[in-house]
Amino acid sequence: MKKQSLKFIDLFCGLGGFRVAVENIRQNSECVFSCDFDSDSQKSYEANFGEKPFGDITKIHEIEIPEHDVLLAGFPCQAFSICGDGKGFDDTRGTLFFDIARILQAKRPKAFVLENVKQLVSHNEGKTFARIIETLETLGYQTHHKILNALDLGLPQKRERVFIVGFREPRSFVWDLRKMPMQPLSEVLDAEVSPNYYASEKIRENRLRSVENKTIKDGLTIWHENKGGNISPLPYSCALRSGASYNYLLVNGERRLTEREMLRLQGFPEDYKIVVGYQAMRKLAGNTVAIPCVEAVLNCVLKALEKPISAEESKTKVAVQESLFAQI
């Protein structure tokens, strides 16, 4: 595949994190289709990329999807997450994976990259993930997966997500990833923000009491409150979450993150337009992908697509794939 030609589709596109990542590493790329059911996502995507995503993916026939080289999808994760009660395929959001499968079957792109919460791997004692991999491999795709943490790729956010990549033809794929130094919070957080972002005096006092016996490092910290009510002051952010309470993360135990700060924690550029309200941005930022993680994965995928595979390697890959089918 020539470097100057890359057509992709952006499913469950949200704020467009996958698209930002593609355009960062491949200038001559073209998004030929995008979709997202959420109206705030559609507004944000259209404002930043000049096109309104299609709405409900279940309402479009797979044949109508344009031809593309790579399918990208951060498919809905709430059905598999701890905070989303982990219902998996019993939740309608979980069944949206099969819309990805029907598009793969019909359009046969050269590769795909999927992203989801790391709990997907262990959900239902691993049976859910096994079913997903089985489905992808039955479609004839050579698959690989890995859990990545945004902290390891430069962002000051502990965000662990599983990435699943697949290839239509046998490829020499390698997770060629290099750990990057973490960007300091001082480069992400604003020195001054509106008083509207500050928690109430009562909440701030409660936060201070909860960390009285804890050692807090000098400098900026983000205080994380877990489901049990335990407070941890950290020199980075815990994962942004779409359904978290307003005071789930507080800078120095005092104020909430601004919309722009949330985008920075996910790796979005400064010129990304914010066109929806605070509550909507919290939801969208919590659901989006960490851009440096996507870039790292895409670089590995594109290298594999652009590198010819030897005849001997091809025989080995096919033999391995056939053995996997025999186990299903």
Catalytically active residues are 77
Q: CA 315, 319, 324: angle at the middle one, nearest 5?
A: 150
Evaluate whether 122 touches 147 at the Cβ level (below 8 Å): no
- Please give the structure tokens belonging to residue 144: 């690989």
- Please give the structure tokens belonging to residue 273: 């337009």
Sheet of strand 249-251: strand arrangement: 231-234, 222-225, 249-251
Bridge partners, residue 224, by sequence: 232, 249
H or E element at residue 21: helix 17-25
Evaluate whether 168 touches 69 at the Cβ level (below 8 Å): no
Evaluate whether 208 touches 253 at the Cβ level (below 8 Å): yes
Residue in the structure block whose two tokens are 């000049």: 50
- Please give the structure tokens belonging to residue 325: 């089918």
